[in-house]
Structure 1
Amino acid sequence: MTQSTDAPERRTQAERTAGTQAKLLDAAIECLVEIGFAKTSTQEIARRAGVSRGAQLHHFPTKESLVIAAVEHLVDRRLSEILATDPDPERGVEVLSEAFSGPLFHAALELWVAARTDPALYEAMVPLERRVSEAIMGGATAIMGSRMSTESIELSIELARGLAVSALFRTAEADAALRSRLLPTWEAMVSQ
């Protein structure tokens, strides 16, 4: 009697752990973006991830550890996406501006605001923000370093953050119109 080769492969413990953590991280980002930090609970994250509360607590014992790991996971993924594109120095400011948009930015913004008044979250966010800032600076330098000074890149990062925050109060059409007007001027001002 021969064994069937159609049987599904059994996943290793490491693969199951990684799968569970990925579900929790994705659900945490979803919660931050959809309902905000204040309404995000570990119970809601576990429910959305389709995992037990015990499994959630095993991997991430606190809400802070879970949401920070989720943002860190997205930062790594987003930075890889940005750096994987063909670096076009002519689009440097535009690429940088786009980096501060979408679910990652909204999730990070939720944490920044909450960390202002939550000492534990603030302490947990400091190393993440340091790492994020270094990664953004490294990515921006890789794309624009030949055309911009370090100070111009740093200024561009701060401008991109500010533009992204103010975009929360504009329609998509108004934001696109503003960006099409401002980005060429910004690029001309910071290019060497």
Structure 2
Amino acid sequence: MTPRRSQADRKAQTRKALLDATIQSLVEVGYAKTTTTEITARAGVSQGALFKHFPTKEALLSVAAADLCASLFPKFRKAMRSHSKGKDPIERAIRGLWSVFKTDEVRVLHELYAAAPTEPGLREALVPVLATHREKIQAEGKLLMPELASMPNFDAAVDFVVTAMQGAAIVLFAGYEKGREQALLDGLVLLVRAAPLLLDVANSTREP
């Protein structure tokens, strides 16, 4: 006889089903078509059940985004750690990270970023999620590159590189630069090499 599940187990299962359905919908049909109706149909639950677990659609999306970030970070870590192998650690690190930036999960996050400016509720819900993810990326960078971690501009350099890579990924997702992936990667490698110097120059121009 199958043991009867507790109420807590049922709640956890429903919550997981909703989050899995949300991410699946975002990947397969995109942000615009990921409605609460679409999500509940995929999860096999009612609209009422959704709003028992998440007060708003934006709250559900923010938790889904947090889950996406959490699932990506081990991949980022593995890719970034590959910088210690080979003769050109910067290029190896960039190519490893790029393999993660091209995934559907990252594309979904970019869709949420793009929607946030015109949807205040979504923007507000995403701010703490993305801030936490950013801090984790910076912390991992310090572990991987201790010889650079003490420089004043290190966190800004990491932000600079990640933002540049996000922009390159968006361009490729949109199909604008089809066939130019190698050129974009070469450009990213140059940006990484130049980032500390560029930030030093920028800071020096702001000094009184």
Letter in 2 for 1:177: Q
Letter in 2 for 1:25: L
> How many angstroms apart in 1 are the aligned matches of 2:157 and 2:119?
33
What do the CA deviations read for 1:149-183 (whole angstroms, capped 9, x no partner)?
51432321121111111111338972543355445
Matched, 1:178 2:166: no
> How many angstroms apart in 1 are the aligned matches of 2:165 and 2:63?
24
Cα drift, residue 186 of structure 1:
4.5
Determine the structure 2 residue equivalent to 1:118.
119
Determine the structure 2 residue equivalent to 1:152.
157
Determine the structure 1 residue equivalent to 2:77.
83
Determine the structure 2 residue equivalent to 1:140.
141
Summarize the Cα distance change of 1:112–1:9 in structure 2 as closer, same or farther, 3 Å threshold.
same
SS in structure 2 opposite 1:132?
A: helix
Gaps of 5+ in 1: 1-6
> How many angstroms apart in 2 are the aligned matches of 1:170 and 1:107?
16
Cα drift, residue 100 of structure 1:
2.6
Summarize the Cα distance change of 1:61–1:155 in structure 2 as closer, same or farther, 3 Å threshold.
same
CA contact (8 A) 1:93 1:186 kept: no
Summarize the Cα distance change of 1:147–1:34 in structure 2 as closer, same or farther, 3 Å threshold.
same
Cα drift, residue 112 of structure 1:
1.5
CA contact (8 A) 1:33 1:107 kept: yes
Summarize the Cα distance change of 1:9–1:40 in structure 2 as closer, same or farther, 3 Å threshold.
same
Determine the structure 2 residue equivalent to 1:3.
none
SS in structure 1 opposite 2:45?
A: coil
Report sequence identity in percent: 31
Determine the structure 1 residue equivalent to 2:61.
67
Matched, 1:97 2:98: yes
Higher RCO (CA-CA < 8 Å; seq separation 6+) = 1
Q: Which moved more, 1:95-104 or 1:159-168?
A: 95-104
Determine the structure 2 residue equivalent to 1:30.
24
Correspondence for 1:43 among 33, 37, 45:
37
Summarize the Cα distance change of 1:183–1:111 in structure 2 as closer, same or farther, 3 Å threshold.
closer
> How many angstroms apart in 2 are the aligned matches of 1:23 and 1:178?
41
SS in structure 2 opposite 1:38?
A: coil
- Would you say how many aligned residue pairs link Structure 1 and Structure 2? 186
What do the CA deviations read for 1:80-115 (whole angstroms, capped 9, x no partner)?
343367822223222333343322222222222221
> How many angstroms apart in 2 are the aligned matches of 1:137 and 1:86?
12
Summarize the Cα distance change of 1:38–1:170 in structure 2 as closer, same or farther, 3 Å threshold.
closer
